[in-house]
Structure 1
Amino acid sequence: MNKEEVLAELTALRKEVPGIAEAATASIDGMLIAADTDEVRPEVLAALASAALGLGKSAAHEVGMGELREVITRCQSGHIVIYPVGRKALLVLLGDEGLDVGRLHVRSRPAVQRLADILGL
């Protein structure tokens, strides 16, 4: 794994999609891999994203709706979006209230694949 390549992907995604404020990747068990953050504690973000992704996967399985694509939490002042990266990692993005979630999905899906390739997943 090349941490610099992972960080470059996070930074590029923040530049491509206006409204992304923070970005991080973590292992599926919540261990931080890399972060491009300013305001949040990246280790805490990684752990919380892991828990949220796990709940999302369990819910998707329980209701029989297929493989989980992402978990989106909309808050008063923005969004938390979590994508699985392969079966062993995740991407978590924090966006402001003006984040174009549709554009985010279009831009993030190729980034998720590139991250999976970089991480060897």
Structure 2
Amino acid sequence: MDADAVMGTELRGLRRRRPDVTGTVLAGTDGLLISSDLPSTDATHLAALAAASFGLGHRVADTVRRGEFRESVLRTTAGCVVTYPAGRTALLTLVTASSTQDLEALHEEARAVAHRAGSLWDTRLRGSTVAAPAPDAHAPLAVRTPMATLPTQLRRSSRPTWRRPPI
């Protein structure tokens, strides 16, 4: 059985075991969709949003120095959306119904699925010729170059290059 089939089986199995889970998405930390068992929502959009949520949560956890990111929980009036890290470069996102009473039991089972699917994905990436490097958690968000250090030919001219057309 190939990796895609195993990941799909893991996601569908979680939905069968937990009727309160209405959909699952496995995505890369870059926001690209890996696998989905999400019937009613666009999985590619949810994958991108999960990556953004993970990035923010990871950065907050790193800033407050209270341990590693474990999950992100978004509660809504109709249920919740939970995102877990899955291996080094993947995320497992669950969409649940409002009847989720025992969220801690869901976390335990979902973390196990995230671990298995993430390990499988990491193994698959190591086997490929191009493996994505792990992002540096302590890297600055942006680097700016002062204008004074740029070569003269790269600096903007003081004259505007665009003029408003006559009316």
The TM-score with structure 2 as length reference comes to 0.69
- Distance in structure 2 (CA, Å) of the matches to 1:64 and 1:106: 23
1:117 shift after superposition: 2.2
More helix by share: 1
CA contact (8 A) 1:49 1:82 kept: yes
CA contact (8 A) 1:31 1:43 kept: yes
Pick which of 1-10 and 79-88 moved more: 1-10
Identity %: 35
- The 3-state SS of whatever aligns with 2:25 is strand
Partner of 2:106: 104
CA contact (8 A) 2:87 2:121 kept: no
- The 3-state SS of whatever aligns with 1:91 is strand
Partner of 1:21: 22
1:29 shift after superposition: 0.4
Matched residue type, 1:56: G
- The 3-state SS of whatever aligns with 1:29 is coil
CA contact (8 A) 1:74 1:80 kept: yes
- Distance in structure 2 (CA, Å) of the matches to 1:120 and 1:39: 28
Q: How does 1:1-121 map to 2 (within 5 A)?
A: 2-99=3-100, 100-120=102-122
- The 3-state SS of whatever aligns with 2:69 is coil
Larger relative contact order (CA 8 Å, sep ≥ 6): 1
Q: List structure 1 runs of 4+ shifted beyond 4 angstroms.
A: none
More strand by share: 1
Q: Residues 7-45 of structure 1, C-alpha deviation per residue, up to 9 Å, x if partnerless?
A: 100000111122100101011000000000111000001
1:73 shift after superposition: 0.5
- Distance in structure 1 (CA, Å) of the matches to 2:99 and 2:93: 17
The TM-score with structure 1 as length reference comes to 0.95
Query: Which structure has the greater CA radius of gyration?
Result: 2
Matched residue type, 2:30: D
1:108 shift after superposition: 1.2
RMSD: 1.2
